[in-house]
């Protein structure tokens, strides 16, 4: 039987779930989020309001879901000790724009514990330092206002983020276009289908190249 969730000081924690192997994640790393989205029938994509906070940020990993109260990061701080290498913190902070849920200090702690990044349905701060450090953080925007630290919250339970349900251990891929959530049981299907999409995209590029040469010759 599944272990029940424990509540630690106002934050409920469930750690009874699995992470996929790193070699599965490596296969997703070679693909764009747009192509992965096409491979999953153009579904499973987080709304475009959640975007990288610096140009060039990208990340692939498995979801460590965190639910906070709007403007409060107690559950995020409590999640630090539950990070495993390759995790991506997926934080539902209710899209609230009045408080930053994390800044450079927490982003650096995520990285120090081996997290591959964080996706936040909410706002962040200290963006210039996070960019300088190259830590991939995706959020709705920036505000200098710091968060409260009272809770409650949950760690390791399913959350909603940008209109998509994220279960603990789901595969997350994020790049300049945005974020996709891939349930592990659909990983093989997604990888097979995305290689067909890559071939189709290459054929479209070749068509454009042929058109360009024809235009130049005329
Ligand atoms: O004060 C906080 O909790 C958020 C913050 O700025 C940081 O993590 O650097
Ligand atoms: Mg800070």
Which residues are part of a known binding site for substrate?
103-106, 125
pLDDT of residue 217: 94
pLDDT of residue 9: 83
Query: Domain containing 33 — which CATH number?
Result: 3.50.30.40
Question: Is the pLDDT at 5 greater than 80, yes or no?
Answer: no
CA–CA distance from 95 to each of 73, 84, 138, 183 (Å)?
A: 13, 25, 12, 23
Domain that holds residue 144: 6-217
Question: Is the pLDDT at 2 greater than 90, yes or no?
Answer: no
Residue 62 lies in a domain: yes
Residue 12 lies in a domain: yes
Stated pTM of the model: 0.95
Question: Is the pLDDT at 1 greater than 60, yes or no?
Answer: no
At 43, is the pLDDT very low, low, confident or very high (cuts 50, 70, 90)? Answer: very high
Residue 78 lies in a domain: yes
Q: Which of 106, 138, 136 is nearest to 122 (CA)?
A: 138
Residue 162: φ, ψ to 5°: 50, 40
Specify the ligand 1 atom closest to the Cα of 146. Answer: 1
Residue 200 lies in a domain: yes
Residue 189 lies in a domain: yes
CA of 73 to the centre of ligand 1 (A): 9
Question: Is the pLDDT at 73 greater than 90, yes or no?
Answer: yes
Which ligand approaches the C-alpha of residue 100 most closely? 1
CB 37 within 8 A of CB 107: no
Each residue of 7-42: pLDDT tens digit? 878 999 999 999 999 999 999 999 999 999 999 999
pLDDT of residue 6: 77
Could you give the number of structural domains in the chain? 1
pLDDT of residue 100: 98
Residue 154 lies in a domain: yes
User: What is the Cα–Cα distance from 204 to 51, expressed in whole angstroms?
Assistant: 27
Burial code (b: 16+ CB inside 10 Å, e: under 16) for 146-183 equals ebeeebebbbbbbbebbebebbbbbbbbbbebbbbbbb
CB 37 within 8 A of CB 186: no
- The residue whose C-alpha atom lies closest to atom 6 belonging to ligand 1 is 103
Specify the ligand 1 atom closest to the Cα of 107. Answer: 8
Residue 54 lies in a domain: yes
- The residue whose C-alpha atom lies closest to atom 1 belonging to ligand 1 is 146
CA of 51 to the centre of ligand 2 (A): 20
Residue 1 lies in a domain: no
User: What is the Cα–Cα distance from 23 to 47, expressed in whole angstroms?
Assistant: 28
Which residues are part of a known binding site?
103-106, 125-126
Distance between terminal CA atoms of the chain?
Answer: 72
Each residue of 175-192: pLDDT tens digit? 999 999 999 999 999 999
The dihedral over CA atoms of 14, 167, 140, 130, expressed in degrees to the nearest 10, equals: 60
Cβ < 6 A, ligand 1 pocket: 73, 100, 102-106, 125-126, 146-147
**Is ipTM beyond 0.90?**
yes
Which ligand approaches the C-alpha of residue 73 most closely? 1
CA of 126 to the centre of ligand 1 (A): 8
pLDDT of residue 8: 75
C-alpha atoms less than 13 angstroms from C-alpha of 126 in its C-beta half-sphere: 18
Each residue of 120-167: pLDDT tens digit? 999 999 999 999 999 999 999 999 999 999 999 999 999 999 999 999
Question: Is the pLDDT at 3 greater than 90, yes or no?
Answer: no
Question: Is the pLDDT at 118 greater than 80, yes or no?
Answer: yes
Mean pLDDT taken over the chain: 96
């Amino acid at each position: 039987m599944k272990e029940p969730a424990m509540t630690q000081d106002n934050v409920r924690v469930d750690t009874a779930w699995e992470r996929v192997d790193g070699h599965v994640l490596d296969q997703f790393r070679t693909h764009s989020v747009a192509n992965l989205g096409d491979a999953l029938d153009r579904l499973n994509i987080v709304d475009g309001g959640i975007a990288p906070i610096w140009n060039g940020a990208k990340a692939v990993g498995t979801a460590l879901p965190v639910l906070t109260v709007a403007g409060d990061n107690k559950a995020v701080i409590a999640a630090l000790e539950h990070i495993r290498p390759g995790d991506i913190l997926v934080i539902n902070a209710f899209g609230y724009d009045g408080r930053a849920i994390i800044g450079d200090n927490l982003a650096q702690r995520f990285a120090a514990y081996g997290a591959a990044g964080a996706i936040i349905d909410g706002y962040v701060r200290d963006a210039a330092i996070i960019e300088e450090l190259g830590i991939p953080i995706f959020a709705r925007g920036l505000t200098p206002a710091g968060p409260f630290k009272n809770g409650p919250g949950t760690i390791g339970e399913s959350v909603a983020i940008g209109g998509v349900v994220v279960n603990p251990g789901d595969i997350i891929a994020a790049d300049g276009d945005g974020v996709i959530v891939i349930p592990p049981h659909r990983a093989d299907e997604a990888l097979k289908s995305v290689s067909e999409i890559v071939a189709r995209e290459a054929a479209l590029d070749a068509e454009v190249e042929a058109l360009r040469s024809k235009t130049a010759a005329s």
